[in-house]
Chains A and B, each alone.
Chain A
Amino acid sequence: MQAQMTGVEVAGQNLANVNTTGYSRQRVDIQTSPDVTTGIGPEGTGANAASIQQIVNTLLNTQVQSQQSTSGYWNGQQSALQSAQNALDEFLNGSASTSSTTSATSDSSTGLASQLSGLFSAFSAVATSPTSTTARQALIGQAQTLATTFNNVSTQLGNLKTSLNSSLNDNLNSANKLLSGIATLNQQISAAEFSGGTANDLRDAREQDLENLSQLTNITTSTETNGSVDVSIGGQALVTGYKVADTLQTYDAGGGQMLVQTATGGQALTLTGGSMQGTIDARDGTLATLQKNVNTLAGTLISQVNGIHNGGYSLTGSTGANFFNGTDAATITVNAALAGNPNLIQTSGSATASGDNTVALQLAKLGSATQNALGNQTFNDNYDATVAALGDSLSTANTQVANQTAVTQMLSTQRSSVSGVNVDEEMTNLMAFQRAYEASAKLVSTVDTLMGDTLAMKT
């Protein structure tokens, strides 16, 4: 009866945990009790519950951990690159046309692409009417909008870098907590299993911690004989038995580039998967390239425009002033003197003829000229390529995340097919144990009746 009762309890435990994440179903192992020797040979003594086993496939668990790392890596990348795309703010806007013959018109009037072509258009308008105040004011307006857009993009990208570093730190703290959690569970599991059996629920909890840690970074595990799991990252041991051998820490690798190292050992770690490395790679790879390209674009624009503008003469005959001030995307501004008095824009190539447009015409032609510093591309082509490169990286990350989701789903189904609880199955088992218990109880009442009959023989 007790054996069947244990079976009922285990079935109950499984049913209660049908929706628990990471729960592995348990099964009671009922064995026949040892025989006793009697005059007519060995006679059975019933059954007892020998042990309660967890049904797990450790190979699948390892696969899941590794897959969580990959998944975490691409999620980290995707999230960082998505923010970068938002920071760049180069989107097409449109609204569907109700006409069936024309499709939507699209414009991207807020992004750098259209600001750049707008600048060169404004130069061309001034070249056509060099003495027109309206054209000059329009040019100043367009140049200021462009400069502000550059400044904004630069600020946003800078903010993004800061927030990525901060999220790296948060992930790191979570990882450290998980490491100490695993060490504690190692100790508890050893203690619980010392007297025999398996600490099923503690093992489930530890498996959960290992998977969560895998999402943050790729780990290597090894199981000791006493049931503890050792964790190492990049060859450095972090959890050994009951102790946390070392923890993770960020450090400045130079120029504000935050990387990961071990805290006490000071050993720089190259993480191979997980969202921390995903964040780092996005930050130091695509994001860094993007920032650099935008800065080079702004810097080249400033130097090329000024190079032409400086030698020109304004309507008042003045010369030598810059058109743009600053050196890169963060610092580019329009010369305040020109902004205050557009007549000071130096459009003429001659000190004596204020209506000459030679310099303005050169500035207008700058838009279609290839630039050495930009890999022999025009300003617009170079920027378009930068945008496409970011789009490519994000598109790849999106595809990978989608793939990983499919793989996660598949592994999860496989694992739950081994370890998951099926309500129908448990209910059936429950009924089986219930019947068996009834049968054993019937035996007790039968024996009781027989004994009563035996005692009744005397009286």
Chain B
Amino acid sequence: MRITSNAYDSSLVNQLSQLSAQQYTIQNQVSTGLSVQAPSDNPAAMENTLDYQAQNAAQTQYSSNISTLQSRANSVYSVLQSLQTITSRAGEIATSAGNATSSQSDLNNYANEVNQLINQVVNAANTKDPSTGQYLFGGTASATAPFTTTTDANGDVTAVTYNGNSSVNQAQIGAGMTATADIPGANTGSSGAHGLITDSQSGADLLNHLISLRNNLNAGNTTAITATDSADLQKDENNVAYQVANNGVVQSQLTTAATFATNASQSLNSMISNSSSANLVQVMMQLNQTQNAYQAALQSGVKIMQLSILNYI
């Protein structure tokens, strides 16, 4: 085929331009570490990468939610510990009082102690979550104090009203998984989360039982104490034990979920890397090859371009 002067030149220009463009692309990959930057670079890889990033964002949020729930569960646990002490003490008092050897003044002393226990329980049940300032045990009606008391002329509690509800909030801890660290103050229904103070399912009614115990102590009615109050207070003690065990289960569930979320996130990061990152070793080699080819094209091109019949005329 006949080769003309400018055919040769334009072919050289073309080759250099292509090699230049290749160099530019590869160098870009080296400096960003990415083999895919724009959707047109690799549409399928881009779609996958965006998908993994979205999943990763979700896992990160789950981790954050779990963290919030864990600190909530800890706050709840502190209250449960106090309640355990209180119910245990109340049970002791009931047993001691039922003993025929106690005098009325002994019983009055016990009654005072029980009054204090009642106040402690009300305070504990009205604990606020330190991070939100909302009440922990009002169910989802968390803006108002769950327990309000009616007192008599001596300042002794005669009745207690529960102002909250029996619902608890669920939070997302994983894909399709929710959990709650909340305990409602009271649940008078036949299903749902067991109430902390009042619970129809287990027969617990701590405050009312304590009030009854105090009244019986003041009245010297040790028969009633042994016959009813002891048994009732045992139900309360069992209920608190149940809540403690439940809290343990929730905390364990949260720990597992946290590990799962961390692992999922790591795995997703690795997948993102696989689909969008450049293999630096490979890319550096390609860059080297392209640079060599570019240099070779330049050198050979220029050499040939310098030859002309005009040099010899």
0 or 1 for each of A418-451: is its CB under 8 Å from B? (1 = yes): 1011111001100100000000000000000000
Q: Any chain B CB within 8 A of the CB of A125?
A: yes
Q: A128-B65, A398-B40 are in contact. Are A350 and B140 (CB under 8 A)?
A: yes
CB contacts (< 8 Å) of A412 on chain B: these are: 7, 10
Q: Are B309 and A428 in contact (CB under 8 A)?
A: yes
Q: A106-B272, A121-B61, A422-B5 are in contact. Are A387 and B132 (CB under 8 A)?
A: no
**Smallest distance from the beta carbon of A363 to chain B beta carbons, Å?**
11
Q: Are A355 and B61 in contact (CB under 8 A)?
A: no
Task: Compute how far the CA of A81 lies from the CA of B33 in the bound complex, rounded to whole angstroms.
Answer: 25
Q: Any chain A CB within 8 A of the CB of B231?
A: no
Residue ID in chain B nearest A428 by CB atoms = B309
Q: Are A417 and B1 in contact (CB under 8 A)?
A: yes
**Smallest distance from the beta carbon of B128 to chain A beta carbons, Å?**
11
**Smallest distance from the beta carbon of B302 to chain A beta carbons, Å?**
17
Q: Any chain A CB within 8 A of the CB of B171?
A: yes
Task: Compute how far the CA of A423 lies from the CA of B308 in the bound complex, rounded to whole angstroms.
Answer: 8
Q: Any chain A CB within 8 A of the CB of B124?
A: no
CB contacts (< 8 Å) of B57 on chain A: these are: 114, 117-118, 121
Q: Any chain A CB within 8 A of the CB of B298?
A: no
Q: A19-B6, A94-B33, A420-B7 are in contact. Are A353 and B39 (CB under 8 A)?
A: no
0 or 1 for each of B140-176: is its CB under 8 Å from A? (1 = yes): 1111000000000000000000000101011110011
Task: Compute how far the CA of A81 lies from the CA of B40 in the bound complex, rounded to whole angstroms.
Answer: 10
Q: Any chain B CB within 8 A of the CB of A268?
A: no
Q: Any chain B CB within 8 A of the CB of A61?
A: no
CB contacts (< 8 Å) of B178 on chain A: these are: 361
Q: Are B69 and A128 in contact (CB under 8 A)?
A: yes
**A117 is contacted by which of B33, B40, B41, B54 (Cβ under 8 Å)?**
B54
Q: Any chain A CB within 8 A of the CB of B26?
A: no
Q: Are B53 and A104 in contact (CB under 8 A)?
A: no
Residues 378 to 415 of chain A near chain B (Cβ within 8 Å): 380-381, 383-385, 387-392, 394-395, 398, 405, 409, 412-414
Q: A380-B50, A422-B3 are in contact. Are A348 and B140 (CB under 8 A)?
A: yes
Q: Any chain B CB within 8 A of the CB of A83?
A: no
Q: A90-B39, A368-B175, A380-B54 are in contact. Are A385 and B47 (CB under 8 A)?
A: yes
**A92 is contacted by which of B49, B61, B169 (Cβ under 8 Å)?**
B49
**Smallest distance from the beta carbon of A133 to chain B beta carbons, Å?**
9
Residues 75 to 114 of chain A near chain B (Cβ within 8 Å): 81, 85, 88, 90-97, 100, 102-108, 113-114
Q: Are B58 and A121 in contact (CB under 8 A)?
A: yes
Task: Compute how far the CA of A432 lies from the CA of B231 in the bound complex, rounded to whole angstroms.
Answer: 131
Task: Compute how far the CA of A367 lies from the CA of B43 in the bound complex, rounded to whole angstroms.
Answer: 23
Residues 101 to 149 of chain B near chain A (Cβ within 8 Å): 131-134, 138-143
Q: Are A417 and B3 in contact (CB under 8 A)?
A: yes
Task: Compute how far the CA of A260 lies from the CA of B222 in the bound complex, rounded to whole angstroms.
Answer: 105
Q: Any chain A CB within 8 A of the CB of B201?
A: no
Task: Compute how far the CA of A120 lies from the CA of B57 in the bound complex, rounded to whole angstroms.
Answer: 9
Q: Any chain B CB within 8 A of the CB of A31?
A: no
Q: Any chain A CB within 8 A of the CB of B191?
A: no
Residue ID in chain A nearest B15 by CB atoms = A409
Q: A121-B57, A353-B167 are in contact. Are A361 and B172 (CB under 8 A)?
A: yes
Task: Compute how far the CA of A392 lies from the CA of B44 in the bound complex, rounded to whole angstroms.
Answer: 8
Interface size on A, residues (CB 8 A): 80
**Smallest distance from the beta carbon of B171 to chain A beta carbons, Å?**
4
Residues 35 to 63 of chain B near chain A (Cβ within 8 Å): 36-44, 46-47, 49-51, 53-54, 57-58, 60-62
Q: Are A354 and B54 in contact (CB under 8 A)?
A: no
CB contacts (< 8 Å) of A350 on chain B: these are: 140, 165, 167
Q: A355-B141, A388-B47 are in contact. Are A116 and B54 (CB under 8 A)?
A: yes
Q: Are A413 and B7 in contact (CB under 8 A)?
A: yes
Q: Are B132 and A129 in contact (CB under 8 A)?
A: yes
Task: Compute how far the CA of A363 lies from the CA of B141 in the bound complex, rounded to whole angstroms.
Answer: 20
Q: Any chain A CB within 8 A of the CB of B276?
A: yes
Q: Any chain A CB within 8 A of the CB of B227?
A: no
Task: Compute how far the CA of A254 lies from the CA of B68 in the bound complex, rounded to whole angstroms.
Answer: 56
Task: Compute how far the CA of A90 lies from the CA of B60 in the bound complex, rounded to whole angstroms.
Answer: 21
**B7 is contacted by which of A357, A367, A417 (Cβ under 8 Å)?**
A417
Task: Compute how far the CA of A350 lies from the CA of B1 in the bound complex, rounded to whole angstroms.
Answer: 86
Q: Are A103 and B14 in contact (CB under 8 A)?
A: no
CB contacts (< 8 Å) of B255 on chain A: these are: none
Task: Compute how far the CA of A425 lies from the CA of B44 in the bound complex, rounded to whole angstroms.
Answer: 53
0 or 1 for each of B2-46: is its CB under 8 Å from A? (1 = yes): 111111001100100000000000000011111011111111101
Q: Any chain B CB within 8 A of the CB of A33?
A: no
0 or 1 for each of B257-298: is its CB under 8 Å from A? (1 = yes): 000000000000100110011111000000000000000000
Task: Compute how far the CA of A424 lies from the CA of B2 in the bound complex, rounded to whole angstroms.
Answer: 12
Residue ID in chain B nearest A111 by CB atoms = B50
Q: Are B142 and A131 in contact (CB under 8 A)?
A: yes
Q: Are B53 and A108 in contact (CB under 8 A)?
A: yes
Q: Are B38 and A85 in contact (CB under 8 A)?
A: yes
CB contacts (< 8 Å) of A416 on chain B: these are: 4, 6-7
Q: A94-B32, A116-B54, A385-B47 are in contact. Are A352 and B141 (CB under 8 A)?
A: yes
CB contacts (< 8 Å) of A420 on chain B: these are: 2, 4-7
Q: Any chain A CB within 8 A of the CB of B310?
A: yes
**Smallest distance from the beta carbon of B239 to chain A beta carbons, Å?**
23
Q: Any chain B CB within 8 A of the CB of A132?
A: yes
Q: Are B39 and A387 in contact (CB under 8 A)?
A: yes
CB contacts (< 8 Å) of A241 on chain B: these are: none
Q: Any chain A CB within 8 A of the CB of B188?
A: no
Q: Are B171 and A409 in contact (CB under 8 A)?
A: no
Task: Compute how far the CA of A330 lies from the CA of B183 in the bound complex, rounded to whole angstroms.
Answer: 45
Mark A residues whose CB is within 8 Å of B. Answer: 18-19, 81, 85, 88, 90-97, 100, 102-108, 113-114, 116-118, 120-121, 124-125, 127-132, 315, 348, 350, 352-357, 361, 364-365, 367-368, 380-381, 383-385, 387-392, 394-395, 398, 405, 409, 412-414, 416-418, 420-424, 427-428, 431
Extra contacts, 9 of them, besides A95-B32, A124-B172, A381-B51 (Cβ < 8 A), are: A93-B32, A103-B279, A129-B131, A132-B131, A361-B178, A383-B50, A391-B38, A413-B11, A420-B4
11 A-B residue contacts at CB 8 Å? A96-B280, A97-B33, A106-B49, A113-B50, A353-B141, A353-B165, A355-B142, A380-B50, A388-B39, A391-B47, A395-B40
